[in-house]
């Protein structure tokens, strides 16, 4: 059976992956309300298309933080690609490079930053970190990213404590296979050496201690701004209040995200939260992106029409990786790119950068008394 849509890839990935891998990738917090609503929320928005607009010449190209990209569809940071493919993030990076797509490498990758850079030397990459408990680890990672040519630092800010529940926690932290190690934490700094990560139990303990930092504040972001010239993007913002805090801390970008529904089950769907974040930082020179629930080119168009400069994909990239390796990653991106181009024309637009205000409206627009 052919694979023509992201839904086809999702079904095939579920059949291809073992039970543990699928449960880890498909996990959503508690009752999975945010997980499901992030997908379903797109159905609440309508496209007010304009006809007879001469859409014969269309261009999907745009820029993110000054970097040119051929279309506004990118790859979010997701952990442990080894669950989907033996070459893990190396394979993902090859697919991203072939598709000319921006990829954010997760700090919880099972391949090192060096390995990913070597696998796809021409790829455009940003590096993901958390506000680690040990600032030495943060600075070490940022310096490595600078050296290897990563173009931005993406800080996940929505995880002061882990959101993963018991059984799924064991899927990850109970793994003893050293191929599942996260190399970013195996570095030559005092806290990493003291953790004695020679066995996987100690490795996971150190990862957990560094990753989830309940003491983190916006001062951590201000400090990062002082130690690097790379742009700083905050991932995991869903409110105007936090967007304003981010602006005051001097960030360059905001990735509106609900962490795939893996943290707070009652978080809003990112597409619902997007417009208030966009409004909160309007005219402040901060780019806003979105991830969460994107499954079609129509979803991409709706996010762009509500103010996102680009959208980022999480699980769908892993589905492509599981089904066809690097070629599957590229195909996922190609499918969405082609769908977006079609929707752009049908809506009467020629570029993702000039979708007229009012093109995307909530369904309630059509139920108000006039």
Candidates 22, 89, 4, 73; CA nearest to 321 is: 89
DSSP state of 168: H
Active site residue 259: yes
Active-site residue, selected from the candidate residues 81, 85, 180, 259: 259
φ and ψ at residue 268, rounded to 5 degrees = -70, 155
CA–CA separation, 175 and 63 (whole Å): 40
Contacts of 121 (CB under 8 A, 6+ apart): none
Which residue has 């029409």 as its token pair?
305
CA–CA separation, 168 and 97 (whole Å): 31
What 114-122 contacts at long range (C-beta under 8 Å, 24+ apart), as own/partner pairs, is: 114/148, 115/89, 115/90, 115/183, 116/89, 116/90, 117/148, 117/149, 119/87, 119/90, 119/91, 119/93, 119/94, 120/90, 120/93, 120/94, 120/96, 122/97
DSSP state of 174: T
Contacts of 250 (CB under 8 A, 6+ apart): 221, 222, 225, 232
> Which residues are known to be catalytic?
259
């Amino acid at each position: 059976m052919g694979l023509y849509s992201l839904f086809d890839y999702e079904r095939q990935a579920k059949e291809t992956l073992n039970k543990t891998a699928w449960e880890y990738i498909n996990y959503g917090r508690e009752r999975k309300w945010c997980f499901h609503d992030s997908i379903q929320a797109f159905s609440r928005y309508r496209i007010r298309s304009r006809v007879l607009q001469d859409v014969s010449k269309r261009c999907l190209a745009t820029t993110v933080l000054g970097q040119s990209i051929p279309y506004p569809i990118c790859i979010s940071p997701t952990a442990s690609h080894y669950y989907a493919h033996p070459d893990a993030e190396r394979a993902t990076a090859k697919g991203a490079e072939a598709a000319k797509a921006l990829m954010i490498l997760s700090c919880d990758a099972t391949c090192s930053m060096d390995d990913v850079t070597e696998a796809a030397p021409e790829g455009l990459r940003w590096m993901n970190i958390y506000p680690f408990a040990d600032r030495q680890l943060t600075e070490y990672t940022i310096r490595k990213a600078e050296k290897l040519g990563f173009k931005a630092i993406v800080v996940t800010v929505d995880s002061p404590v882990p959101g993963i529940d018991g059984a799924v926690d064991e899927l990850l932290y109970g793994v003893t296979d050293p191929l599942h190690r996260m190399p970013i934490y195996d570095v030559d700094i005092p806290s990493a050496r003291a953790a004695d990560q020679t066995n996987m139990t100690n490795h996971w303990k150190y990862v957990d201690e560094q990753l989830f930092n309940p003491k983190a504040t916006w001062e951590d972001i201000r400090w990062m701004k002082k130690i690097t010239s790379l742009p700083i993007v905050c991932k995991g913002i869903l409110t105007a209040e936090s967007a304003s805090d981010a602006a005051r801390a001097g960030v360059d970008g905001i990735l509106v995200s609900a962490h795939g529904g893996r943290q707070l089950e009652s978080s809003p769907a990112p597409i619902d939260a997007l417009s208030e974040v966009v409004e909160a930082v309007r005219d402040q020179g901060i780019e806003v992106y979105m991830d969460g629930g994107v499954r079609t080119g129509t979803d991409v168009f709706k996010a762009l029409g509500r103010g996102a400069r680009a959208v980022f994909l999480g699980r769908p990239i892993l589905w492509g990786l599981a089904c066809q390796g690097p070629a599957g990653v590229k195909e996922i991106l190609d499918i969405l790119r082609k769908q977006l181009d079609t929707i752009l024309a049908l809506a009467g637009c020629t570029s993702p950068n000039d979708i007229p205000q009012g093109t995307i409206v909530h369904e309630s627009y059509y139920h108000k008394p006039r």
